[in-house]
């Protein structure tokens, strides 16, 4: 394996870590953000919805930008914007300032998520074996760090900007330095595009649709945890405010564990079996959360959710790369939009059902939806002429296919 690819993999993994930190610091402090700006319960869903909507716009824009600009460059400049926007959320005083900061965060996150996963799919192609879960494991690690920092801020009653400023001061220069080693596979992708141009493998939505549905369902489940776990534990299961910050951390720990070994599972059993198993475990987690008599049993449910949901999103991106080897950037950008569709549906869906019915009953809806993944699991099957599922390439990558993206 070339040093270029090794450095590229390490630097991209660090970017996933940083994104996990930033996102966790935002979503786990939503009650504090609400209190700081005086956002009412009625207005809060509008603010929460604005971020994924704008992120979807950013992802669609990325699909067009990568025709002229390398994904590595888009990632290099979008990640600092995300960090600065996070600081803006913590430092503002008026609601309009919160709106501007969240808008910048959403647009930049759309570009960031799309470009990170483009590079991940590209590196997996160059490695010739499943490594996509390892990048998302890095994101989970970042989420654990961010949720832990959020707990410290809540425990010590720190102002938001006091919690956010040291994080930004440390991570901002680190990501700028690390971005020097991002590895694009532009030459390899272009060559494959020419090879497959006459074989009808351009991105067509009807072929991508099953993966889009799985991505949507996965993020409905994920948004339920990130946006409602704290409120559910505190208001429904009677936990303390400090303990209410723990479920997201537990969720991220179990996603880290699942993703850390997930690539081995894919290589051994295949993506279809791993995705089916993950869907069943996630459905069981929602059932436990809905029926939990107290906070500790609720924690067990969120633990199962982490173990189940953790494999779905990385494998969905990887499947898109296999399905459209000559147009993986476009496929990833389009698929990434359904990340935000899931978030946009999941958060208000659970809130509305909780208000109209009960929050326990609301947890049964994502449970049913995640089982839909079983219907589309065959979409994750490896193609016989590409890597994965018994058709992996040799572990030594083609040296000529990587570039440092500078």
- In the numeric block, which tokens belong to residue 115? 């470009």
Digit-coded pLDDT (tens) for 43-54: 887 887 888 899
**Does residue 395 surpass a pLDDT of 70?**
no
**Does residue 386 surpass a pLDDT of 70?**
no
Digit-coded pLDDT (tens) for 348-361: 888 889 888 889 99
Q: How far apart are CA 195 and CA 197, in angstroms?
A: 6
pLDDT at 205: 78
**Does residue 193 surpass a pLDDT of 80?**
no
pLDDT at 383: 55
Q: How far apart are CA 360 and CA 352, in angstroms?
A: 12
**Does residue 187 surpass a pLDDT of 60?**
no
pLDDT at 185: 64
DSSP for 165-190, written as a single string: HHHHHHHHHHHHHHGGG--B-HHHHH
Q: Which pairs count as long-range contacts for 295-299, CB under 8 Å and 24+ apart, including other chains?
A: 295/233, 295/237, 295/238, 295/239, 295/243, 298/232, 298/233, 298/237, 298/239, 298/247, 299/233, 299/246, 299/247, 299/250
Which pTM was predicted? 0.84
Q: How far apart are CA 397 and CA 291, in angstroms?
A: 49
Assigned CATH for 3-180+189-388: 1.20.1250.20
**Does residue 55 surpass a pLDDT of 50?**
yes
Digit-coded pLDDT (tens) for 224-256: 987 788 888 888 898 777 787 788 778 888 999
- Span 40-66, average pLDDT: 89
Residue with more model confidence, 395 or 119: 119
**Does residue 406 surpass a pLDDT of 70?**
no
List the domain boundaries for the chain. 3-180+189-388
């Amino acid at each position: 394996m070339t040093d270029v690819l090794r450095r590229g993999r390490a630097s991209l993994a660090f970017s996933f870590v940083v994104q996990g930190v930033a996102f966790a610091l935002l979503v786990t402090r939503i009650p504090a953000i609400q209190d700081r700006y005086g956002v009412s319960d009625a207005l809060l869903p509008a603010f929460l919805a604005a971020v994924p909507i704008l992120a979807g716009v950013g992802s669609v824009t990325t699909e067009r930008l990568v025709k002229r600009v390398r994904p590595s460059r888009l990632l290099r400049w979008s990640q600092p914007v995300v960090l600065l926007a996070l600081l803006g959320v913590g430092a503002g005083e008026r609601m309009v300032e919160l709106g501007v900061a969240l808008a910048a965060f959403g647009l930049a996150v759309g570009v960031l998520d799309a470009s990170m996963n483009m590079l991940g799919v590209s590196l997996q192609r160059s490695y010739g074996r499943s490594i996509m879960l390892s990048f998302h494991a890095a994101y989970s690690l970042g989420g654990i760090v961010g949720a832990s920092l959020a707990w410290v801020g809540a425990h010590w009653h720190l102002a938001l900007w006091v919690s956010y400023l040291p994080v930004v001061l440390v991570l901002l220069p680190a990501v700028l330095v690390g971005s020097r080693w991002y590895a694009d596979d532009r030459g390899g992708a272009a060559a494959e595009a020419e090879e497959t141009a006459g074989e009808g493998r351009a991105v067509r939505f009807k072929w991508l649709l099953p993966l889009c549905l799985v991505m949507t369902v996965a993020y409905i489940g994920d948004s339920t945890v990130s946006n409602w776990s704290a409120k559910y534990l505190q208001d429904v299961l009677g936990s303390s405010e400090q303990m209410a910050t723990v479920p997201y951390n537990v969720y991220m720990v179990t996603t880290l564990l699942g993703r850390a070994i997930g690539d081995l599972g894919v290589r051994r059993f295949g993506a279809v079996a791993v995705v089916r198993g993950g869907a069943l475990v996630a459905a069981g987690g929602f059932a436990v959360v809905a029926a939990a008599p107290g906070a500790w049993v609720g924690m067990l449910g969120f633990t199962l959710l982490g173990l189940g949901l953790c494999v779905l999103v990385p494998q969905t991106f990887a499947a898109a790369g296999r399905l459209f080897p000559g147009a993986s950037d476009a496929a990833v950008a389009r698929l990434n939009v359904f990340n935000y569709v899931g978030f946009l549906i999941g958060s208000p869906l659970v809130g509305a059902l909780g208000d109209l019915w009960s929050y326990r009953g609301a947890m049964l809806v994502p449970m049913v939806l995640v089982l839909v993944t079983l219907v589309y699991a065959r979409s994750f099957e490896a193609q016989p002429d590409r890597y994965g599922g018994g058709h992996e390439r040799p572990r030594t990558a083609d040296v000529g296919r990587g570039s440092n993206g500078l």
